[in-house]
Amino acid sequence: MTTPATTPATAAPERIAIITGDRVCIGCGFNLHGQHVVRESHYNMLMVRCPECGQVASLHEYPVLGPWAKRLGFVLAAFWLLVMLAAVGATTGALMGGTFLSSEAMLSGVTREISAAHARHADERLKEVDAEIARLQADQDGSVQALSRKGTAPEQDQLSYAQQSAKLATLSTQRQTWQWMSQQGSMPNSWVDEEWWKTSPGKAELVGGLWRSIDWRTSFWTLLGAGLMPLVAGVFWAITSPRWRGRGLLLAWVVLALFGAGGLVVANAMRLSVSQMQMWAGIQMAQASGLARELTGQTPTIMTFAAMSLLLLVAMRFGRAWARLAVRALLTPRMRASFAYLWVCDGKEMPRTRTAPGKPV
């Protein structure tokens, strides 16, 4: 009785490298990122086998690019650095924009009260200016009639007539200003006569306490809209910076928040100078929203900035998980393979497109 010859054991293929980029299997669409590249023993070719369907994907060996590889890498690195710097600026702008919109919404009730009170003052001043214009026009008409009876115009009369004409022109300009300010009474944020505000006795009644002065309903809806800006910025950082974890994530968040706080301080100083301007005919103006901030202090700004910063931190922490949910909900299984990075960077397995060979359905 003869013993059958045993089949010689085949040597395990030599592992050359690991696929670090995105490469989609032509059979099932699975992303081959992280799979081992081996050298096939028969033809001595590089290949990788799909763990989902077993399809073999052949690879090619290319010659070295020479010095242009380093040059191209330098250009790409410089471009990526510019993108990151722009992202820091965009994150700072998102924190500042969300804070400004939310804080002004919180004080919208006080701003409307100031605008309405100043509109009543502007109506009174408009009546006074109209009466003064009517008086000057009557005096000027009388002077013209007197000069016409004399038949001559002495130098003193001419000087008096020119002075009345200049004062009448100034009053006409003031009338336009007061009429414009009177029409702003229905606006949520208007320009206010700063001299009237300094002498106004009812400032404290406009606030009535910080918490009672806040327009909570408007603040809530504005916060929902303005909060999208730091959320989008946080998701961007979560996707582009997967190594930020634990203390590193907190440190990065603190740095971004400090940039936002610094920009907020500078912007507040600039807005304080811009919120006051010299209007026509020497009337000093101030914006109602700036006056509302003077009454309430910086507490609303600090509260809204803290809320925006917290939203940024939450998005930086859970941004990749939200992105994975969006990819699974919006893309087909074959198209998801291009976003395998979202799973690989967190050590998770890609959602399977089909059952792997030998595994139960």
Query: Can you tell me the distance from the alpha carbon of 42 to that of 297, in angstroms, rounded to the nearest whole number?
Result: 79
Taking 60 as the threshold, does the pLDDT of residue 8 lie above it? no
Position 316 confidence tier, pLDDT thresholds 50, 70, 90 = very high
Name the band, by pLDDT with cuts 50, 70 and 90, for residue 235: very high
CA angle 354, 356, 361 (to 5 degrees): 70
pLDDT at 313 over 60: yes
pLDDT value of residue 359:
47
What pLDDT is stored for residue 250 in this prediction?
Answer: 93
Q: What is the model's pLDDT at position 62?
A: 57
Cα–Cα distance, 46 to 38 (Å, whole number): 6
How, if at all, do strands 276-278 and 284-287 pair?
Answer: antiparallel
Per-residue confidence band for 50, with pLDDT thresholds at 50, 70 and 90: confident
Higher-confidence position of 238 and 212? 238
Mean pLDDT for the stretch of residues 291-316: 86
CA angle 335, 25, 31 (to 5 degrees): 60
Residue 134 dihedral angles phi and psi, to the nearest 5°: -65, -40
What are the pLDDT digits (tens) for 136-161?
A: 777 776 666 665 655 555 555 666 66
For residues 252 and 219, the model is more confident at 252
- Residue 234 CB neighbours (<10 A): 24
pLDDT of residue 264: 85
| pLDDT for residue 7 is more than 60 | no
Residue with tokens 């811009």: 274
**Better pLDDT: 285 or 213:** 285
Q: Are 336 and 28 in contact (CB under 8 A)?
A: no
What proportion of the chain, given as a percentage, has pLDDT over 90? 17
